[in-house]
Amino acid sequence: MLLFLNDDIEIIGQDYEDTDWLSVLAGQAKQESTGAVGAKLLYPDSSYIQHVGVINYESSCFAHLYAKAVDDENIKAHRNYADYDCLCVTGACFMIQKAKFDKAGGFDEAFEVTHNDVDICLTLYEQGYYNVLRNDVVLFHHESFSRGDDEIDEEKNRRNMYARDMVYEKHPKLEKYDPFYSPLLTQTENNYRFGDEIYSVIYRKPQKAGRLKPAAGYMEVSPTVKVTETGYHDDMQLRGFAYNGNKVYYNPVIFLWNEQNCYRIKAQSVCDRAFHLRKGVDKNINYAPFFCGIDTTDMESGTYRCAIRADGKYYDAQTDVVIDG
């Protein structure tokens, strides 16, 4: 096992019953699917976040999620409490199995100061591993005390941008793309909120359901397609997730059917990390959740099976939906 630790990291007391912070990182790193393992880093003698994972979004590219935010329960989706997969973790505290490190080619010496950690994390992801952030390991990081602030120094900022471009040249499929960060979230801030465009999607006027002829017997059972919540307000709301392995069914078409009637509704894919964590959804699937609001005014009362159409097939969502006239 290899541990890379900056000389400006300060070890603080950890509250574990039968283990220690190194064992926590090592236990995660030895998992077959795990690549690099990072820790929560706070600014010295404070509760301000320096690192709870790195996101690769459109405007700032590689940025520390929730940097300089207060480490409390108000952080969306509990990104500062839950352990989760992410595209990159900082090399300031970085544990990995030696065999995986060697397979990834180690740190590329072309990145002399910055982005060497980003580069190897992207390589590990491309090799099929998941980089993991362990929020239960908390350390102080005297960030930039030894090197200075790259954002202030013009020369260092230029070097930082050059290194970023080198990363994208080496990993072109991941240029301004993060498979663990939905494009429906903000691309201008590091706070994991919905982008402005998503509100018009989620809170749009409920749609009318298209009526079709029922076709019994064409549903196939899939345990990975589920409707997990239904709600009734002025309209009916369905929320769930649709995926198969690592394949996500974007904007799935929902069918409500029984022996007498069949209705077709177009759902909208959304990203809701907190919803994932509450429902125990595979945390590797960021884009699987869907939402749809349905105007039930012209729909026949009754109990309907819910199905999802994807890849030309119909998957039984294994739930009943009751519509009251």
Same domain, 133 and 203: no
Same domain, 265 and 209: yes
pLDDT-derived band at 259 (thresholds 50, 70, 90) equals confident
313-318 average pLDDT score:
67
Same domain, 219 and 188: no
Distances (CA, A) of 309 to 137, 176, 239, 256, 269: 42, 30, 15, 11, 14
Same domain, 161 and 213: no
State the pLDDT at residue 233.
44
Domain count, the chain: 2
Most confident segment among 17-26, 270-279, 316-325: 17-26
Structure tokens at 190: 């590091």
Residue 281: Cβ-neighbour burial (10 angstroms; 0-12, 13-18, 19+) = buried
pLDDT-derived band at 139 (thresholds 50, 70, 90) equals very high
56-81 average pLDDT score:
77
204: CATH: 2.60.40
State the pLDDT at residue 252.
76
Q: Which residues contact 53 (CB under 8 A, 6 or more apart)?
A: 38, 64, 65, 79, 84, 86, 88, 89, 133
Distances (CA, A) of 87 to 150, 204, 319: 22, 32, 34
What is the 8-class DSSP label of residue 272?
-
The percent of residues above 70 in pLDDT, for the chain, comes to 63
Same domain, 115 and 81: yes
Contact present, 52 and 133 (Cβ < 8 Å):
yes
**pTM for the structure as a whole:** 0.59
pLDDT of 276 higher than 50: no
Query: CA nearest 48: which of 33, 67, 65?
Result: 67
pLDDT-derived band at 247 (thresholds 50, 70, 90) equals low
188: CATH: 3.90.550.60
Contact present, 69 and 191 (Cβ < 8 Å):
yes
Query: Is the model more confident about 189 or about 222?
Result: 189
Q: How far is CA 228 from the centre of its chain?
A: 19
Interatomic CA distance for residues 256 and 212, integer angstroms: 10
Same domain, 278 and 318: yes
Same domain, 44 and 125: yes
Same domain, 174 and 220: no
pLDDT of 274 higher than 70: no
Query: Which of 193, 216, 240 is the endpoint of a domain?
Result: 193
Same domain, 16 and 140: yes
- Residue-wise pLDDT for 18-39, tens only, equals 678 999 999 999 999 999 999 9
pLDDT-derived band at 261 (thresholds 50, 70, 90) equals confident
Query: Which of 193, 224, 245 is the endpoint of a domain?
Result: 193
Query: CA nearest 256: which of 208, 324, 303?
Result: 303
Mean pLDDT of the chain: 75
State the pLDDT at residue 35.
96
Same domain, 169 and 57: yes
Lowest mean pLDDT among 144-153, 163-172, 297-306, 313-322: 144-153
State the pLDDT at residue 72.
80
State the pLDDT at residue 45.
80
State the pLDDT at residue 12.
84
- Residue-wise pLDDT for 144-192, tens only, equals 544 445 555 567 767 778 888 899 999 998 888 888 887 667 665 666 5
Same domain, 57 and 189: yes
Query: CA nearest 34: which of 107, 116, 120, 125?
Result: 125
Residue 99 belongs to what domain range? Answer: 2-193
pLDDT-derived band at 221 (thresholds 50, 70, 90) equals very low
Interatomic CA distance for residues 319 and 325, integer angstroms: 20
Same domain, 268 and 173: no
Query: Which of 193, 221, 252 is the endpoint of a domain?
Result: 193
